[in-house]
Chains A and B, each alone.
Chain A
Amino acid sequence: MTEERKVQTKGSQKSLEAARNTYKFIIEDYIMGHVHKNEGKPVVWSCALADKELYYSMGLYPFYPEQFSALCAVRRKTKNEGDKEAVRFARIAEQAGYSGDLCGYERVTTGYVINEDLKDAPLDGMPKPDMLVTTSSVCDVRLKWFEDMSQRLNVPLFTLDRPERCFDGIMQHPKPHEVAYYQSQLEDFLSFASDITGIKYNSDRMEECIDWSYKTNELRLEILQMRKSIPSPMGCADGFATMYPGMYCSGTQKAYDYYKALRDEVKAKVDAGLGQVDNERFRLLWFGIPLWFNMGIFNYFEPIGGVFAYEPAYNPSPWPPITNGDPLQYMASRTLSVGSTMSTTIPAIVEQCREYSISGGVLAYLITCRPVYLPALELRRVLEKELGIPSVLIECDLVDERSYSEGQVLTRMDAFAEQILKKLDTGK
């Protein structure tokens, strides 16, 4: 095959050491997962938004197809040659009849599963699971996707049905019937997992995990507060790089230790008045999941003093204090405190822009990710109307770089930067 130039995408430059080193954490997680499997211990493939303490308290080793798809978005089978793994797997799924409009994560993992050799993937892939867990949170594709995988892998599936809370505003105490329902899901999952693995649910162990996750969450909230500082001590490249332990290992000591170190690093920067860059002129918000194969975009405006200061995705919400009662009831009420529809997303972004001194929004228009693109035009309209803040839409798939049009994206980014600088210079 003749040689060709690759699409110009690249990884990001991170301003924090912890961010730069997270890849080691991830690699170790994968290695330990395979070790765990080889020792005959149970493995679960889970969607990103389940309550992780369920797994850690039950001795289940979790892998996350969404995170795995993001990994595939950056890796090639052979270094510097051929397509990214995400593209290879997405093609397999599309050949089998899955529409190209379906969620990029789904196409990648489904293609990977259809490919059958689960080791034919970055980091030796994900070990064959003993069970699959999904939840309805954020998007409904996950339900069908995991249903489909469950049939292909012939592995039992549990769906945590989390009530979709629709109210005007960002947080609201959940109603008793909502808590009771989600609690029943957690209980049913624990019996399901026990039936499969023979491991009994132990509420002390659960409380231990919740203790760790609560403390970890507090650290993450502290970091979020510090990110409001000017200049911005921690950007989106750092944020997306460092969300892994909190998202995927919540309930473990290793996650807590990780964020302690991160918190200390960020605090040191804030105390010294140091920012991501020396020449900070304007701060941006990134809405949505990033383009995993082109994280370099977060450095794009740095030469002109533009930094990405905040990203709502993957960041924690404040949790109520741990109660003395049933830990499962606590988990249910904690998880249901934040609204899950646009009646929450829209006012939330206005608040976020205020708190983080945002001058502009970059809205990821992820063409196959419905919960991210659906609010895009409304977000833009509301930001302009409520805060006079301009936004730009970046159109692409989240993991499938075939849809990335460098010319189009960079033209839009440049025009957007001009708009922001003009506002800064003229005050209009």
Chain B
Amino acid sequence: MLFGGIDVGAQSVKAVVFDGKEIIGWKLNITEEAADTAARIVFQELLDDLGLKREALSRVFSTGWGASAVTFADGRSSEQVCAARGGRWLFPGARTVVDVGAEGCRVMKLTAAGAMEDFANNSKCASGTGSFIELGAVYLKVPIEEMGALSLAADGVAEVSSICAVFAESVIISNIHRGESRQRIAAGIHRSVAIRINELIGRMGVVPEIVLLGGTALNAGLVKILEEMVGIPLRLPENPRIVGALGAAIQASLKKKGKTAP
């Protein structure tokens, strides 16, 4: 049996087809379309790639910020539960799942049996999320994908002391005026984000194995600093941005009913 998962995020939409044992295929689109349209498009494109028809899938679940807008889903499941499911499926020893996306950072705590037993979100602001790094990329005038490498090339860490992303521009500009190198500023930005993530992990408790999801898991600079702070290596999925959609597909395979879109 085949199951589908769609993750409608703030910046991208992801689709996964899952057969109960393996990921059959996945797709990620950066999109500005409305949620339902974007979901339809990515889902159809994935089906086309795989040569499948919609009827071939028994159930499709949605998750993410725009989950309730996906009209063709059979059910939906919360981001926390999906991240936990997906992370645990990829790493059967996972006890802590850390999902750092563009808009939010959340940490899920799992029981030894793999069920989610608690979760925490960052407080309503951009610090400790991918947005802060994106802002940094804008002000340092580098593509976002190069931020990690830039910070790894630093010979030190600039003081990016502000907790608040609203001050990000002024903090970064003042660092530039002070003659700080862009590498060190990038390192400072990563350090600032890592501190917030680490604090959130600490609130749930550092219980290995710890899995890192979301686009930021591709940022080698952030991963390095975060690992140093947490004190143990983090488990990194090969495709960290689709784990939520995977989780939704797993939920579809487990659940006979989910919440339907209102």
Contacts and interface: CB of A to CB of B under 8 A. Distances in A.
- Please determine if A and B sit in direct contact within the complex, based on CB atoms under 8 angstroms apart: yes
A91 B199 contact: yes
A5 B199 contact: no
A314 to B, nearest CB: 29
Interface stretch (B58-66, B91-99, B160-168): B160-168
A9 to B, nearest CB: 11
Given A2-B156, A405-B162, A95 B228 contact: no
A95 B202 contact: yes
Nearest to B173: A407
B159 interface: yes
Given A94-B199, A95-B202, A97-B203, A407 B174 contact: yes
A403 interface: yes
A405 B170 CA distance: 11
A407 B170 contact: yes
Contact of B159 (A1, A5, A100): A5
Contacts of B161: 7, 402, 404-406
A6 B199 contact: no
Interface string B181-209: 00000011001000000010011000000
Contacts of A7: 159, 161
A3 interface: yes
B157 interface: yes
A91 B196 CA distance: 11
A195 interface: no
Majority DSSP secondary structure for residues of A touching B: loop
Interface residues of B, number: 21
Interface in A84-131: 91, 94-97, 100
Nearest to B154: A2
A3 to B, nearest CB: 6
B8 interface: no
Nearest to A91: B199
A351 to B, nearest CB: 37
Interface string A334-358: 0000000000000000000000000
Contacts of A6: 159
Nearest to A95: B202
A95 B203 CA distance: 4
B158 interface: yes
Contacts of A94: 199, 203
Contacts, number: 42
Contacts of A95: 199, 202-203
B140 to A, nearest CB: 18
Contacts of A404: 161
Interface in B21-65: none
Contacts of B203: 94-97
Contacts of B156: 2-4
A405 B159 contact: no
A194 B171 CA distance: 56
Interface string A1-22: 1111111000000000000000
A94 B174 CA distance: 29
Nearest to B200: A95
B174 A4 contact: no
B157 A2 contact: yes
Interface in A382-405: 402-405
Which of A94, A100, A403, A405 counts the most chain B CB atoms within 10 A?
A: A405
Given A95-B199, A405-B161, A2 B187 contact: yes
A6 B157 CA distance: 11
Contact of A4 (B123, B158, B167, B171): B158
Nearest to B174: A407
A3 B158 CA distance: 9
Interface string A299-320: 0000000000000000000000
B181 to A, nearest CB: 13
A82 B10 CA distance: 37
Contacts of A408: 167
A2 B157 CA distance: 6
A1 B228 contact: yes
A402 B192 CA distance: 11
Contacts of B157: 2-4
B199 to A, nearest CB: 7
Nearest to A100: B123
B245 to A, nearest CB: 31
A407 B177 CA distance: 13
A401 to B, nearest CB: 9
A273 B187 CA distance: 54
A6 B228 CA distance: 20
Given A94-B199, A407-B170, A407-B174, A402 B163 contact: yes
Given A2-B154, A100-B123, 4 more contacts: A1-B228, A91-B202, A405-B161, A408-B167
